[in-house]
A and B are shown apart, each in its own frame.
Chain A
Amino acid sequence: MSQSDMHAPGDLLALHAMGDQLPEAMSRHVTACNQCQTELSQWTHLMAAAHTATVDDVPGVAPTRVWDAIADELELSGNSATATPAPVLPVTPATPPSVAGIASARRRWSTNWLVAASVAGVLSGAAVTATGVALTNSGRQPAPVAAPVVVASTALAALPDHQGDGAAEIVSTPEGKELVVDVSQLTGGDGFHEVWLIDPETFQMVGLGALVNDSGRFPIPAGLDLRRFTVVDVSLEPFDGDPVHSRDSVVRGELST
């Protein structure tokens, strides 16, 4: 088949629509071919639209005030049975949160979430959970009164090629803040699990210590900016003496207040 008989590849037509010359034989074909003409005209329209775009057209962040108005108008419960994992972790625990408490909360969380997620075969919802808390709680729940208080929480979901799930909470106690982590069925191997707080903007991280027997409480150093270090990460670390993160993250979640 000579070049003039072949349809022009879409990417060449795209570049042509941006002003590039086509090879001559292909150009003859395109001129005579309805299919290529149709595709070329689609690209030309796209280019025309793209050239009218400006920096001002780039969407920013969805305004919180609009979400609040939507939630008000729809009278969203924020904790309906059909919804979200998010509010299941108690915001104001009646008793000091225990690892067992988190574990049972997580089980309820898992059940609710699985109903929704299994439909699409998606089993990780950390990002959703975090948003759910952030949006649902904005100004519509009473402030926590009892201490110690859960100030932030997240579900932990497995990263690709790993298994396991869990939950993490930051609790405020008279002694300071602690990260309470509870996980189950993490991918194992030679090594141990370590808990980290990570700043997703800068990728800086603080190692909080080894996670033994699927649960642990980790004191958070005073002065650590929890508005920056929002990601809870559990990694699999080899016994190599290297204090740096192995890059082998097993579960992760983003804390939300």
Chain B
Amino acid sequence: MNPSDVLQRAERATVAHVSVHPWPTTPDGQTPWPTTETSDAAVGVAFADGSEWALEEAYRRWGALIHTIAARSTGSQHDADDVAQAVFVSAWRGRHRYSPDQGALPAWLLGITRRRIADHWESRSREQRRIDAAGAASEVLPASEESVEKVANRVLIADELSRLDQPQRQIMELAFFDDLTHHQIADHLSMPLGTVKSHIRRSLIRLRSRLEVDGVTV
């Protein structure tokens, strides 16, 4: 170690406590940030095994997704709270029925979510029938299975889009949320049409494979 190194080390020893460095970037401007995140599969295995941390982790990873599907289906934050609570409570109590070999944990949780939302509408409809003196079929019909399915797909797609990196994310949001054509996106972003299309192509492939994991039927 040469003397100037020693000096710099010594200087750092005294200034380290007050100097804040930015994270160094790579030559191509990327920020390296390797992750230690546990895989979804490992969470699924631990969940089936009855580890409480896996329930907490499942809620952290998929609670928002499930709550949003419930909120968009029922139109009420309060009902969404109830549905999301019921989903995780019944998933935990019925965890012996979950087999990690047969599918991803989020797909299983989504199946339970669909049933709990159906239950929600069922009980609404029973209430309505009680109120209805004639006992005739209620006009406040529950959302059908199909429409719960549609809401779930929409939220899952929006969720996956929000996980794309830039610029794919912006391109896909312009395509789907703002319904721009490929040409309009290229103009809007001053990007060659071919580049826009290749981003879209890659994002679509990724989107579909992610949705397959979630058990979405498209």
Instruction: Please indicate whether A and B come from the same complex rather than being unrelated chains.
Output: yes
A residues in contact (CB < 8 Å) with B: 10-11, 14-15, 18-20, 42-43, 45-46, 49-63, 65-67, 69-70, 73-74, 76-78, 80, 82-86, 116-117, 119-120, 122, 124-129, 131-132, 135-136, 157-160, 198, 200, 202-209, 219, 221, 239-245, 247, 249, 252-253
Which residues of the partner chain B approach A86 to less than 8 Å between Cβ atoms? 53
A69 touches B81 (CB 8 A): yes
A249-B34 contact given A52-B150, A120-B45, A135-B56, CB 8 Å threshold: yes
CB within 8 Å of A: which of B42-92?
42-43, 45-46, 49-57, 59-60, 62-65, 67-68, 72, 81, 84-85, 88-89, 92
- Report the Cα distance A177→B207, complex, angstroms: 45
B21 touches A76 (CB 8 A): no
Name A's interface SS. Answer: mixed
- Report the Cα distance A67→B165, complex, angstroms: 29
A58 touches B38 (CB 8 A): no
Residue of A18, A62, A127, A219 touching B37 (CB-CB under 8 A): A127
Residue of B8, B9, B22, B218 touching A46 (CB-CB under 8 A): B218
- Name the CB-closest residue of A to B205: A11
B43 touches A128 (CB 8 A): yes
- Name the CB-closest residue of B to A196: B21
A204-B20 contact given A53-B176, A82-B52, CB 8 Å threshold: yes
- Name the CB-closest residue of A to B5: A241
Which residues of the partner chain A approach B5 to less than 8 Å between Cβ atoms? 239-241
A82 touches B23 (CB 8 A): no
Residue of B38, B39, B68 touching A60 (CB-CB under 8 A): B68
A122 touches B92 (CB 8 A): no
B154 touches A57 (CB 8 A): yes
| Contact of B133 with A by CB under 8 A | no
- Report the Cα distance A249→B84, complex, angstroms: 38
B157 touches A53 (CB 8 A): yes
State which size class the interface on B falls in: 35 or more
- Report the Cα distance A135→B56, complex, angstroms: 7
A76-B64 contact given A14-B201, A52-B150, A53-B176, CB 8 Å threshold: no
B39 touches A122 (CB 8 A): yes
Which residues of the partner chain B approach A200 to less than 8 Å between Cβ atoms? 33
Bitwise interface map of B from 9 to 33 toward A, beta carbon under 8 Å scored 1, else 0: 1011100111111111010000111
Residue of B22, B42, B63, B204 touching A66 (CB-CB under 8 A): B63
Q: How many Å from the CB of A128 to the closest CB on chain B?
A: 5
Which residues of the partner chain B approach A74 to less than 8 Å between Cβ atoms? 55, 89, 92-93
Which residues of the partner chain A approach B36 to less than 8 Å between Cβ atoms? 124-127, 157-159, 252-253
Residue of B60, B153, B197 touching A49 (CB-CB under 8 A): B153
A247 touches B24 (CB 8 A): yes
Q: How many Å from the CB of B205 to the closest CB on chain A?
A: 6
B38 touches A76 (CB 8 A): no
18 CB-based A-B contacts, threshold 8 Å: A20-B197, A42-B218, A43-B204, A49-B150, A53-B176, A58-B68, A59-B162, A66-B59, A116-B45, A117-B46, A122-B39, A128-B43, A128-B54, A132-B57, A158-B36, A205-B21, A209-B13, A241-B4
